[in-house]
A and B are shown apart, each in its own frame.
Chain A
Amino acid sequence: MPVNGTQNHANALDARGIGKRFGGFWAVQDINLTVRPGERRAILGPNGAGKTSLFNVLTGDLTASAGTVRLFGQDVTREPIHKRIRRGLRRSYQHAHLFEGLTVRETLFLAVAGVQGSWAQVWPLKGSDKRLAEADRLAEVAGLTSFSERAVSELSHGQRRQLEIGIALAENPRVLLLDEPAAGLSPAERPKLSALLMALPQEVTVVLIEHDMEIALQTSESVSVLYNGRMLAEGTPDAIMQNEDVHQVYLGGGYAQ
């Protein structure tokens, strides 16, 4: 999807020397991450490796202590999250903080209005509003059509994860950062989520944090492994499966067999 004013040949995401420090502790340090437009990238790593901290710096939830973040060639390191959203960046959260008092439809509506910057309307919504139609489309993509009038507080854990994805898909995302979208899902719910991810338009760049190796390797063409806040290895799923270091710290002996 060409967008005016950006360099189309640039990488979708280009992070250089990223560091995030909390007091004296570096959650991530000296991370380089380059993702091509349309690429599907998985980020693996044991708990505490710095995956979510890296995401927070990439999205602007947290400001980087070191390094630069570029989105399609544009330096966004100092931009707040609501501006990066306008550039086509979206994310989902591992721990879903959703709007418990709103319905699914209202939540998805706000996701659409937020990206468009059309949230400041003070008169009531009309049923024929185009943004509501888009919200209904997102509900369908996320498999929540029959729950769209439900309050978010009444949703099951799996439905909340689906809603997270629906929010992230509002208004043609260009780069999608998904933080453990399958976390806490039952084995029966996982294939549904996998299918949802596989069905994303090919031009959308997806970076996925995932503990579930099945989902990670099935949906991604390349893998980055973090360990202790640093980049341990990068490569194709096959190469990562064969990597000795990765076996030592994350997969544990014998996983590939």
Chain B
Amino acid sequence: MKNAPLLAVLLALPLFLNDFWLTQVATRALILGITALSLSFLATYLGVVSFAQAMMAGIAGYTIAYFGPNTVAIGWELPFWLSIPLALVLATLAGALTGLVARRSRGIYAIMITLAIGVAFFYLTRQNYSLFNGWTGFSGVRAPQVFGLNLRAPVPLYLMTLAVAVAALVLVAGFVRSPLGLTIQALRDAPGRVRALGIPALGPIVAAFAFSGFIAGAGGILNVWYNERISSFSVGLGPIIDILIICVIGGLRHPAGAFIGAIAFVLLETFAVDLIDRDRFNTLIGLVLLAIVMLAPNGLQGMAAALVARLRPRAATPKTSI
């Protein structure tokens, strides 16, 4: 496996990094990367940009909060081996529903309709108290103890997040090589032609959104454990746009771009306070985004690939093939 050295470095990271770097930078970047992966999967393989990924992640996060230990006395505590699958199923269903609604939309229309869904969910969480506890949301949402291992501690949390991130990437790589994954890519290139092959378009589109909901859900679960809280702010316009920014910075040529973008995003966010005023983070990230869009439309991974291609002119570009 050609990624083995990288994986070894990532596994060994807790040996070299202190808790701040491990938790605030590495773990956080991986969690954001998983959620961003759910968008880069849709954008790369179905050709649809969705603003509803924060909603899908949020559904999973709220499910964990509602059906887990929390300090707001709302919900119904289930064992984690029930609440985790439930959260993933609900996030997958939320993805499928989004796909059902947005099935005929492309480009700007898909953006508008998924943005409407995302923002509607934000207002729902803000105004509903029986399920979402309104504005304040849930706090004290703690990751479980598994076999005596406290998943809230920095190293176990990091390793668990790394395992989920790798699993998500492997899952995406396998899925896009499956007949359904190929159908989804064919829909991106020529939707009318897919129907002419005897394949109705609705099923694959809904499946693609459902799959992205599953991935976003995994990110959402980790995110609520990481923050130990979730509220309407976790699913608002800020997170919605952050996910898109991460994807654009990383680049949409390959799903791994989501993680590259997430690392860049988290580093900027963490150290913006040293470079400029903390309140100017949005200005900084906006300028970075502008530079990426203008200078490297394929994101950081595109820049890296172009650099490698320049150094090794005859290096073959990796591509998906069965």
Genuine A/B complex: yes
Within the complex, the shortest CB–CB distance from A55 to chain B, in Å, comes to 11
Q: A80-B200, A97-B192, A101-B189 are in contact. Are A113 and B179 (CB under 8 A)?
A: yes
Q: A109-B182, A122-B178, A123-B174 are in contact. Are A132 and B322 (CB under 8 A)?
A: yes
Which residue of B179, B195, B196, B319 contacts A109 across the interface (Cβ within 8 Å)? B179
> CA separation between A80 and B200, bound complex, in Å?
9
Give the nearest-CB partner of B175 in chain A.
A122
Is B238 engaged at the interface, CB distance under 8 Å to the other chain? no
Chain A positions within 8 Å of B, measured between CB atoms, are: 59, 61, 80-82, 85-86, 91, 93, 97-103, 105-107, 109-111, 113-115, 117-125, 131-132, 149, 151, 167, 170
CB <8 Å contact, B199 and A121: no
CB <8 Å contact, A110 and B182: yes
CB <8 Å contact, A115 and B321: no
Task: Give the chain B neighbours of A113 by CB distance below 8 A.
Answer: 179, 183, 199
CB <8 Å contact, A125 and B177: yes
Is B188 engaged at the interface, CB distance under 8 Å to the other chain? yes
CB <8 Å contact, B186 and A120: no
CB <8 Å contact, A120 and B196: no
Chain B positions within 8 Å of A, measured between CB atoms, are: 174-175, 177-183, 185-186, 188-190, 192-200, 203-204, 207, 319, 321-322
Task: Give the chain A neighbours of B197 by CB distance below 8 A.
Answer: 82, 85, 110-111, 114-115, 167, 170
Task: Give the chain A neighbours of B179 by CB distance below 8 A.
Answer: 109-110, 113, 118-121, 125, 131
Please, could you name 8 A-B residue pairs with CB atoms under 8 Å apart, sorted by A? A59-B196, A82-B198, A91-B196, A97-B190, A98-B190, A102-B189, A115-B198, A122-B175
Task: Give the chain A neighbours of B189 by CB distance below 8 A.
Answer: 97-102
Q: A80-B195, A82-B198, A99-B190 are in contact. Are A105 and B322 (CB under 8 A)?
A: yes
Within the complex, the shortest CB–CB distance from A228 to chain B, in Å, comes to 27
CB <8 Å contact, A125 and B198: no
Task: Give the chain B neighbours of A121 by CB distance below 8 A.
Answer: 178-180
Within the complex, the shortest CB–CB distance from A117 to chain B, in Å, comes to 7
Within the complex, the shortest CB–CB distance from A174 to chain B, in Å, comes to 14
Task: Give the chain B neighbours of A80 by CB distance below 8 A.
Answer: 195, 200
A sample of 16 more A-B contacts (CB under 8 A), given A81-B195, A109-B182, A122-B181, is A61-B196, A82-B198, A85-B196, A97-B189, A99-B189, A102-B182, A110-B197, A110-B199, A113-B183, A114-B194, A115-B198, A118-B179, A119-B199, A120-B207, A122-B175, A125-B322
Task: Give the chain A neighbours of B319 by CB distance below 8 A.
Answer: 151
> CA separation between A167 and B204, bound complex, in Å?
20
Task: Give the chain A neighbours of B196 by CB distance below 8 A.
Answer: 59, 61, 81-82, 85, 91, 93
- Max count, chain B CB within 10 A of own CB: residue among A59, A93, A113, A115: A113
